[in-house]
Amino acid sequence: DRTPRPPNAFILYRRAKQPEVTRDHGTISNAKISKILANLWKNENDDVKHYWQKMADKKKMEHMLAHPGYVYRPK
């Protein structure tokens, strides 16, 4: 079993915003949802990005406590 990496700021943002995008755009492909969310992220102001970066830092700390000694090892 591999330990998953902690989520970064964009991943957390995407998880939070995906239901809203799906609701607003109906049934569209995941690729299109990703493009919409990437564009939204690109145009967010620094305060919003900073908020999600702080959330990612918090998740990273939780990950460190839950998985001491974890080292990312790509295949």
Contact (CB, 8 A) for 7 and 51: no
Q: Is the model's pLDDT at 75 over the cut of 90?
A: no
Phi–psi pair at 72, nearest 5 degrees: -70, 125
Strand, coil or helix: what is 72?
A: coil
Domains, the chain = 9-66 (1.10.30)
Q: How far apart are CA 59 and CA 11, in angstroms?
A: 11
Query: Per-residue pLDDT tens for 44-63?
Result: 999 999 999 999 999 999 99
Query: Per-residue pLDDT tens for 26-43?
Result: 999 999 999 999 999 999
